[in-house]
């Protein structure tokens, strides 16, 4: 991403907002420690196909302009713009907290997804290795795992992922919403290029891992014409299932997204913003369950139809089913007995 200047939309939870008299200073990387007492986040949205997620990090170095998680940074008294990209939060106790959760009598071995919020394999994972440590806990308990990421760093853990795939249940979904490298660089500046992510799909598939692709988000007027090529290339690389999600721009995300778009792709900006509104009933975001992931109206319907036709033509499977019964097992203690508490 290069040098990043401080640039945050106003935080509705903050009592003041900084306005720079001159050019804003550059945003350095700051890492903070989160001492949360739990690590599992519960989801109750019918639009999301999983209940539990683990997020070892908050904020994301990838800096994707469209990231729906940006507003969550405002609850930490930080900004949803450059703060989200460079003021990152780590959860060093995440593996211990996950083990504690698995030891609860109420835990039934449901699938745990990494991550529902920010990328669990963003660059600081190379240093802190919290995702790997949590996955080792999942393997220890044979708990089903799903991973959603954009990062080829996941290849570092091929040994562990292969064991998870063999001994429990694992799906890895790579997010590839662009094929045009210029567009990808503009909107997700610190993410490796699309072709590199397709190579990651190839390497995961070669290890027998059930891997899929998410063309997400669909950004009308910007990347919708790239969807078919991404789906074709991912299928050739070994992806078994595919998904797609319409872009949604809640709160300050709309401001971050439009600024980035007008700065780096100014000739497309008006068309893109107009098309998004066409797919969102005149708005940039629709929080309603059932519509927030797909959009509505003729334009959204045309995109959905194209995706479904392409998915069927390429023989992609629907999203993989969670195993039933769960392979989850608590490890035995030194005496060969299962731990009950």
Which contacts (CB < 8 Å, 24+ apart) does range 264-270 have?
264/186, 264/187, 265/183, 265/186, 265/222, 268/221, 268/222
Per residue in 241-283, pLDDT tens? 999 999 999 999 999 999 999 999 999 999 999 999 999 988 9
Q: What is the pLDDT of residue 53?
A: 95
What is the pTM for the complete model shown?
Answer: 0.92
Mean pLDDT lowest among 25-29, 102-106, 235-239, 330-334: 330-334
Q: Mean pLDDT, the chain, as a whole number?
A: 92
> Cα torsion for 254, 256, 260, 266, to the nearest 10°?
40
Half-sphere exposure of 105 (CA within 13 A, CB side): 2
pLDDT at 82 over 90: yes
Average pLDDT over residues 299-310: 95
Which range has the worst mean pLDDT, 48-57, 127-136, 159-168, 261-270? 48-57
Residue 341 has pLDDT above 50, yes or no: no
pLDDT band with cut points at 50, 70 and 90 for residue 1: low
pLDDT top residue among 223 and 21 = 223
DSSP annotation of 306:
H
Judge whether residue 290 has pLDDT over 90: no
* Residue 124 vs residues 178, 328, 329: alpha-carbon distances, Å: 24, 29, 31
- Domain layout of the chain by residue ranges: 31-313
**How confident is the model at residue 151, as a pLDDT?**
97
Q: What is the pLDDT of residues 168-209, one digit of tens each?
A: 999 999 999 999 999 999 999 999 999 999 999 999 999 999
Among 26-35, 189-198, 216-225, 320-329, the minimum mean pLDDT is found in 320-329
pLDDT of residue 340 exceeding 60, the answer is no
pLDDT band at 238 (very low <50, low <70, confident <90, very high): very high
CATH architecture of 31-313: Alpha-Beta Barrel (3.20)
Which residues are paired to 172 by β-bridges? Answer: 147, 211
Rg (C-alpha) for the chain, rounded Å, is: 20
Cα separation, 24 vs 173, whole angstroms: 37
Confidence category of residue 337, pLDDT binned at 50, 70, 90: low
pLDDT tens-digit map of 315-330: 999 777 788 899 999 9
């Amino acid at each position: 991403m290069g040098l990043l200047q401080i640039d945050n939309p106003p935080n509705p939870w903050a009592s003041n907002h900084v306005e720079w008299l001159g050019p804003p200073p550059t945003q350095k990387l700051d890492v903070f420690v989160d001492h949360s007492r739990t690590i599992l986040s519960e989801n109750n949205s019918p639009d999301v196909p999983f209940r539990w997620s683990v997020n070892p990090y908050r904020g994301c170095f990838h800096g994707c302009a469209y990231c729906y998680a940006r507003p969550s940074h405002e609850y930490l008294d930080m900004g949803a713009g450059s703060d989200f990209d460079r003021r990152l939060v780590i959860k060093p106790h995440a593996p211990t907290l996950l083990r504690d959760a698995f030891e609860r009598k109420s835990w039934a071995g449901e699938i745990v997804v990494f991550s529902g919020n920010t990328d669990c394999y963003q660059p600081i994972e190379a240093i802190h290795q919290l995702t790997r440590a949590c996955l080792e806990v999942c393997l220890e308990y044979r708990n089903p795992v799903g991973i959603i990421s954009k990062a080829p760093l996941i290849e570092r853990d091929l040994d562990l992922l292969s064991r998870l795939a063999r001994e429990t249940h694992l799906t890895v979904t790579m997010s590839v919403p662009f094929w045009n490298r210029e567009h990808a660089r503009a909107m997700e500046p610190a993410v490796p290029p699309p072709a590199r992510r397709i190579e990651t799909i190839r390497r995961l598939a070669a290890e027998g891992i059930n891997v899929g692709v998410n063309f997400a988000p669909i950004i009308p007027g910007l990347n919708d014409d790239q969807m078919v090529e991404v789906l074709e290339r991912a299928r050739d690389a070994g992806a078994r299932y595919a998904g797609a999600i319409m872009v949604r721009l809640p709160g300050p995300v709309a401001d971050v997204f439009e600024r980035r778009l007008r700065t780096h792709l100014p000739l497309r900006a008006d068309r893109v913003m107009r098309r998004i509104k066409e797919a969102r009933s005149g708005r940039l975001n629709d929080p309603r369950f059932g519509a927030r992931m797909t959009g509505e109206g003729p334009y959204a319907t045309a995109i959905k139809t194209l995706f479904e036709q392409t998915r069927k033509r390429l023989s992609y499977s629907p999203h993989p089913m969670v195993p039933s019964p769960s392979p989850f097992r608590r490890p035995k203690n030194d005496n060969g007995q299962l731990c009950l508490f």
